[in-house]
Amino acid sequence: MTTVAGPAPVEADLGAVLAETSVVEVLNQLDRDLVGLEPVKTRIREIAALLVVDRLRTEVGLASERPSLHMSFTGNPGTGKTTVALRIADILHRLGYIEKPQVVACTRDDLVGQYVGHTAPKTKEVLKRAFGGVLFIDEAYYLYRPENERDYGQEAIEILLQVMEAERDRLVVVLAGYRDRMDDFFRSNPGLSSRVAHHIDFPDYDLEELMAIAELMLEQQSYRFSEEARETFREYLELRVGRPRFSHARSVRNAIDRARLRQANRLFAQGGRLSVDELTTILPEDIRKSSLFGNDVPEPVGPARSAA
């Protein structure tokens, strides 16, 4: 017996899709987890809205070509590009655009070989691991080195171009790096630029946002600043922002880790019974011993007094 398909529904239920996929929950989590970055969050919400509506159109039988989802993330190190890629993968998976909510991160070294015949298998192996999810290529401009005629990066780019077009239903590619270098990279590789639908620029964090990031990181690990330590850390950031290799949230995390290390050494040297407040509080000396203040000194490695 042949079953005749009924007519497509005349309306789509947005609420049902949102409830089924929990996309709004992911977007709200992005708001909670990421300080600042309002332009980025706005773009992610716009992309999510496009995909939700595309799904609704499909449900009511409207012809719709799968939206192009390849992206470019530009900005300085530590501005949240990898974190946003993870959230994007979650959203795409929940809406059925990728099979797995995974991000496979790689750099030039993972894709480009050092001799003839080495690049293609390396690139294809990374692509194989990434299929079904998101491939995140950090500092993508290093794939292209026109000054070296014998460089094999162009071979990796050509393979990526083919896959980004032919396998767009199986893979989303995110190309990331500094904005000016990425602009040059796309100008030199117009085929890549034409395949990237969403260009998202990640702004630098200001001092207040960096402080909020530090407070959030401490809270997540059950630590806190004393009032004096909070002001000391602000001083630290004012000094650190102007130094080489400043990486925004990444530099904040490194500073917090070093403050925890100094706190642990201070408590270890102190010995005795330790209160919860002592175990959770970062003091000014845990920060001021940084070399940025010009007085980084060897720290104690053992208890100064025995346990009571």
Domain end point (choices 202, 237, 263): 202
- Please indicate, yes or no, whether residues 41 and 186 belong to a single structural domain of this protein: yes
pLDDT interval class at 286 (50, 70, 90) = very high
Domain end point (choices 146, 173, 202): 202
- Please indicate, yes or no, whether residues 194 and 71 belong to a single structural domain of this protein: yes
**Full residue range of the structural domain in which residue 220 is found:** 207-293
pLDDT score recorded for residue 306: 33
On whether residue 9 sits in a domain, the answer given is no
d(CA 252, CA 260): 12
Mean of all residue pLDDT scores within the chain: 87
- Please indicate, yes or no, whether residues 21 and 167 belong to a single structural domain of this protein: yes
pLDDT score recorded for residue 11: 79
Query: Is the model's pLDDT at 270 over the cut of 50?
Result: yes
pLDDT interval class at 110 (50, 70, 90) = very high
- Please indicate, yes or no, whether residues 21 and 129 belong to a single structural domain of this protein: yes
**pLDDT (tens digit per residue) in 191-215:** 888 899 999 999 999 999 999 999 9
pLDDT score recorded for residue 307: 32
On whether residue 101 sits in a domain, the answer given is yes
User: Rounded to the nearest 10 degrees, what angle do helices 81-94 and 38-59 cross at?
Assistant: 10
pLDDT score recorded for residue 301: 39
On whether residue 304 sits in a domain, the answer given is no
- Over pLDDT 70: what percentage of the chain? 92
pLDDT interval class at 114 (50, 70, 90) = confident
Query: Is the model's pLDDT at 258 over the cut of 90?
Result: yes
- Please indicate, yes or no, whether residues 216 and 175 belong to a single structural domain of this protein: no
* 8 Å CB contact between 266 and 300: yes
On whether residue 258 sits in a domain, the answer given is yes
pLDDT interval class at 244 (50, 70, 90) = confident
- Residue located via tokens 């192996």: 125
pLDDT score recorded for residue 9: 61
- Please indicate, yes or no, whether residues 211 and 192 belong to a single structural domain of this protein: no
- Mean local confidence (pLDDT), 143-162: 85
Query: Is the model's pLDDT at 54 over the cut of 70?
Result: yes
On whether residue 6 sits in a domain, the answer given is no
- Please indicate, yes or no, whether residues 56 and 188 belong to a single structural domain of this protein: yes
- Please indicate, yes or no, whether residues 211 and 198 belong to a single structural domain of this protein: no
Query: Is the model's pLDDT at 303 over the cut of 50?
Result: no
On whether residue 23 sits in a domain, the answer given is yes
**pLDDT (tens digit per residue) in 65-83:** 788 899 999 999 999 999 9
Higher pLDDT, 107 or 9: 107
The domain spanning residue 251 has which CATH number?
A: 1.10.8.60
- Please indicate, yes or no, whether residues 56 and 195 belong to a single structural domain of this protein: yes
d(CA 11, CA 142): 48
The domain spanning residue 92 has which CATH number?
A: 3.40.50.300
d(CA 70, CA 61): 25
Domain end point (choices 184, 202, 220): 202
pLDDT score recorded for residue 297: 46
pLDDT score recorded for residue 48: 92
- Please indicate, yes or no, whether residues 133 and 245 belong to a single structural domain of this protein: no
Please state the length of the chain. 308
Nearest in space to 103 (alpha carbons), one of 75, 132, 74, 142:
132
Query: Is the model's pLDDT at 10 over the cut of 70?
Result: no
Query: Does residue 196 sit in helix, strand or coil?
Result: coil
On whether residue 2 sits in a domain, the answer given is no
Query: Is the model's pLDDT at 8 over the cut of 60?
Result: no
pLDDT score recorded for residue 45: 92
pLDDT score recorded for residue 20: 85
171 phi/psi in degrees, rounded to 5: -150, 135
- Mean local confidence (pLDDT), 93-101: 92
Query: Is the model's pLDDT at 98 over the cut of 50?
Result: yes
d(CA 21, CA 48): 11
- Please indicate, yes or no, whether residues 154 and 220 belong to a single structural domain of this protein: no
pLDDT interval class at 184 (50, 70, 90) = very high
On whether residue 7 sits in a domain, the answer given is no
Question: In the chain, how many domains are there?
Answer: 2
- Please indicate, yes or no, whether residues 166 and 29 belong to a single structural domain of this protein: yes
- Over pLDDT 90: what percentage of the chain? 61
Higher pLDDT, 110 or 150: 110
